[in-house]
Amino acid sequence: MSNNNLIIFDTTLRDGEQSPGASMSKDEKIRIAKALEKLRVDIIEAGFPAASPGDFDAVAAVAASIKDSTVCALARAMDRDIDAAGEALKLAASARIHTFIATSPLHMEKKLRMTPDEVVERAVYAVKRARNFTDNVEFSPEDAGRSEIDFLCRVIEAAIKAGAGTINIPDTVGYNLPDRFGRLICELRERIPNADKAVFSVHCHNDLGLAVANSLSAVLNGARQVECTINGLGERAGNAALEEIVMAVRTRQDVFSCTVDQIDTTQILSCSRLVSNITGFPVQPNKAIVGANAFAHESGIHQDGVLKHRETYEIMRAEDVGWNANRMVLGKHSGRNAFNQRLQELGYAFNSEKELNTAFARFKDLADKKHEIYDEDLQALISDTLAGEQNETVKLLSLKVTSETGEVPRAFLTLSVNEEECMVDASGSGPVDAVYNAIEKIVRSGAHLQLYSVKNVTDGTDSQAEVSVRLEQEGNIITGQGADTDIVIASAKAYINALNRFVGKQTLRHHPQKTEAI
């Protein structure tokens, strides 16, 4: 790796997971972490271990499974958090602790109720404590984007002196504009006497749609680490999208003086799909790099131009980010080994023979309905299989739906709930509504459907449908996914998957930035 590389710090598993409804199980986090390792990101922020025992376990499991990327854990500037982060990272091949404390007047006064002197003292203490666990410590002055520059200089100088090797400048509320944010980075680097002893990093939120622009402006002004997430997932409007940062730097080498040569960009699309699949957050069709239309040329003039000479309308090659790669495929006659091997190539490792056999049986069912199975089908099938294996309090046993012109749609449903078989029928304004009414007639969860989305996994009317739902129940938000060649069955699976995820989700989980500060 050339030392001119921009360090790519992925926080999909931490800040990304802070999006309402995007919480991930330990196994899901491991799958995403492995995909990020394959993408060759430098650092994976795996979570906030002090949030809950589940978060601690997930960070520890990611730390134990990843060898090629550094695994990072977040900690507020307090003993309990730092010790939990150090403990969770014990098995990491390469570990980083990321500790933070807010530095804006608003946050110090209203949230922390601390004086600036106390904040500096606490930042120094936290960095030193983190250094007891690892030499690789990152410090963030939270809400730096609204902090006073003189105070930022003071706290950052002290944090570097205490042993922080990376200083991350977060625009926590996405308030900054590219030109000013770039100048802030430049000024900090010029004014802080020991600035050359640390790598400057940025972490931009997208509240004004400027996260990527602000991050790139910072890079042009000397930042050498960008914190970002796959598909721009993250708190509120999200974070800077990794795929956009990487491809901008790579495509505009005439402008940037650093590179992203370490990143295997051909893995971008599969990472994007995996994250979308697991979180149930769909990717909009016109999303840069990974949206379905990102490389599609609709207008005749464009198509003609691209056919004559690709670069007339394309600034990147679709295959460089993973489009069109390895489309083919397995089919009805493919055996268990071929199936397993292709999944390993896609980054899935089964935990047991039983898991492989279940997935293979579902693959055979799918191959009976759909003759050519693409990588996208396999990804949807695996997510669906693993979703079905989780804590299945509610299971779909059978479903029949009638839908006829001029008639009210009806669903005839059999579920197993806690091993007990329940049969009902219900009507609805459409077949999916009828199915959801039938499920609720049995389960009576009282959940509200906040989002329902359906997407075809591949081209053609024989495609699997991938359905995502977001349910809200007593303030808890959870997503569920289901895939099937039958859209109504996929819809039922998604709803049931979300209901199963509610079970066991009631444990208290702290938010790193919103719970009591210190």
Residue 466 in contact with residue 440, Cβ under 8 Å? no
Sheet holding 476-484, edge to edge: 448-456, 465-473, 476-484
| 203 touches ligand KIV by CB under 6 A | yes
Q: How far is the CB of 85 from ligand KIV (least distance, A)?
A: 12
| 100 touches ligand KIV by CB under 6 A | yes
| 170 touches ligand KIV by CB under 6 A | yes
Name the residue nearer to ligand KIV (CB basis): 41 or 415: 41
* Element housing 412 (H / E): strand 410-417
Q: Which does 65 bind (CB under 5 to 8 A by kind): Zn ion, ligand KIV, none?
A: none
Which residues are CB-contacts of 494 (< 8 A; sequence separation ≥ 6)?
Answer: 280, 467, 468, 469, 480, 481, 482
Work out which of 10, 42, 45, 142 binds ligand KIV, going by CB under 6 A.
142
Amino acid at 21: G
Name the residue nearer to Zn ion (CB basis): 270 or 513: 513
Sheet holding 410-417, edge to edge: 394-402, 410-417, 420-427
* Element housing 467 (H / E): strand 465-473
Q: How far is the CB of 455 from ligand KIV (least distance, A)?
A: 29
Q: Which does 140 bind (CB under 5 to 8 A by kind): Zn ion, ligand KIV, none?
A: ligand KIV
Q: Which does 100 bind (CB under 5 to 8 A by kind): ligand KIV, Zn ion, none?
A: ligand KIV
Work out which of 65, 99, 172, 265 binds ligand KIV, going by CB under 6 A.
172
Work out which of 19, 65, 136, 140 binds ligand KIV, going by CB under 6 A.
140
Binding residue count for ligand KIV, defined by CB under 6 A? 10
Name the residue nearer to ligand KIV (CB basis): 110 or 354: 110
Residue 443 in contact with residue 415, Cβ under 8 Å? yes
Q: How far is the CB of 102 from ligand KIV (least distance, A)?
A: 8
Q: How far is the CB of 115 from ligand KIV (least distance, A)?
A: 21
Binders of ligand KIV in range 499-518 (CB under 6 A)? 512-513
Binding mask 9-48 for Zn ion (x = CB under 5 A): ------x---------------------------------
| 15 touches ligand KIV by CB under 6 A | yes
Q: Which does 142 bind (CB under 5 to 8 A by kind): ligand KIV, Zn ion, none?
A: ligand KIV
Handedness of CA 143, 145, 148, 150 (dihedral sign): positive
301 is written with which tokens? 């003039």
Pairing mode of beta strands 7-10, 43-47: parallel
Query: What does the alpha-carbon distance between residue 393 and residue 382 come to, in Å, rounded to a whole number?
Result: 20
| 157 touches ligand KIV by CB under 6 A | no
Block residue for tokens 């930035």: 513
The three-class DSSP label of residue 86 is helix
Q: How far is the CB of 168 from ligand KIV (least distance, A)?
A: 6
Residue 205 in contact with residue 234, Cβ under 8 Å? yes
Backbone Cα Rg of the chain: 24
| 10 touches ligand KIV by CB under 6 A | no
Q: How far is CA 372 from the centre of its chain?
A: 29
Name the residue nearer to ligand KIV (CB basis): 29 or 107: 107
Closest CA relative to residue 409, chosen from 389, 390, 435, 388: 435
Half-sphere exposure of 338 (CA within 13 A, CB side): 12
| 139 touches ligand KIV by CB under 6 A | no
| Contact set with Zn ion (CB under 5 A) | 15
| Contact set with ligand KIV (CB under 6 A) | 15, 100, 140, 142, 170, 172, 203, 205, 512-513
